[in-house]
Amino acid sequence: MKILVPVKRVIDYNVKVRVKADQSGVELANVKMAMNPFDEIAVEQAIRFKEAGAATEVVAISIGPEQSQETIRTALAMGADRGIHVLASHDTEPLAIAKIIKAVIAKEEPGLVVMGKQSIDDDSNQTGQMLATLLGWPQATFASGVELNGDSLNIIREVDSGLEHITCPMPAVITVDLRLNEPRYASLPNIMKAKKKPIDQISLDDLGVDASQRLKTIKVEEPPAREAGIMVDSVPSLVEKLRNEAKVI
């Protein structure tokens, strides 16, 4: 079985995001970029499937500018076998990404797609669901536990009321949550090996997908600063403020 893992290049989660002076977006110049953390979990899970003998190949795919190949190399250093880079010169929206991945799936014919539940830059949480719908495949979202069982998957999902256990036939699309696993660090030998692993670059024209932007960002601004807290000297004073100032009781 072949597993396809989409990976996205985002601002490193340790970096403080800054809004551009003209409020047209966030500052990306001279900013450290990295693989989306949820996608790291997806790569790790795919590699674990392969190590367990349930998969024969793990293919990482990224959609974006030339620098997206660095993100693919990270997946290859973790243990993916090869990469596919779909060159896109502008930001792609979730529906366009789903259509692009669908076109790649038609060529690659994987038995499973494992992807992060969302990216930390726009937090859309849409691509996995859209992809499954376009393919007509079963989907299991927010997976915090995954177990292969023949031609199906046993999935544990975190929901508001607790843990939901479902069975999902393959081929399928899985979107993974934080508690599924702990991604491995790429060792220096594997980083060197990753440089020799193949990355196929294709264009949107090759796939015949219209990835034109349908959404326009009007303005990006930082959230308002939180007001400083105050100290109260008694419970009656606290109740008074909650009633008259905060209007919560």
First to last CA, the chain: 58
Mean pLDDT on 111-135: 92
Q: Which of 195, 165, 148, 158 is nearest to 45 (CA)?
A: 148
Query: Where are the alpha helices (H) located in 79-126, listed in sequence order?
Result: 94-108
Return phi, psi of residue 9, to 5°. Answer: -90, 120
Please list, in sequence order, all residues whose beta carbon lies within 8 angstroms of the beta carbon of residue 49, skipping any fewer than 6 positions away: 1, 3, 55, 58, 112, 148
Q: How far apart are CA 243 and CA 173, in angstroms?
A: 49
Yes or no: say if 43 and 83 are a contact pair by the CB < 8 Å rule. Answer: no
Rounded (10°) CA dihedral 139, 140, 141, 145: -160
Question: pTM of this prediction?
Answer: 0.84
Average pLDDT, the chain: 90
pLDDT level of residue 155 (50, 70, 90 thresholds)? very high
pLDDT single digits (tens) 128-138: 999 999 999 99
Sign of torsion over alpha carbons 231, 234, 239, 241:
negative
Local structure of residue 26 (DSSP, 8 states): B
- Structure tokens, 192: 């060197």
Structural domains of the chain in order of their starting residue, each with its CATH number? 2-244 (3.40.50.620)
pLDDT single digits (tens) 55-97: 999 999 999 989 899 999 999 999 999 999 999 877 888 999 9
Q: Between these two residues, 27 and 143, which has the higher pLDDT value?
A: 143
Range with the poorest average pLDDT among 13-27, 100-114, 122-136, 142-156: 13-27
Yes or no: say if 204 and 86 are a contact pair by the CB < 8 Å rule. Answer: yes
Element (H, E) at 59: strand 57-64
Q: What is the pLDDT of residue 166?
A: 93
Q: Between these two residues, 57 and 221, which has the higher pLDDT value?
A: 57
Q: What is the pLDDT of residue 237?
A: 87
Instruction: State the residue for tokens 């989660």.
Output: 13
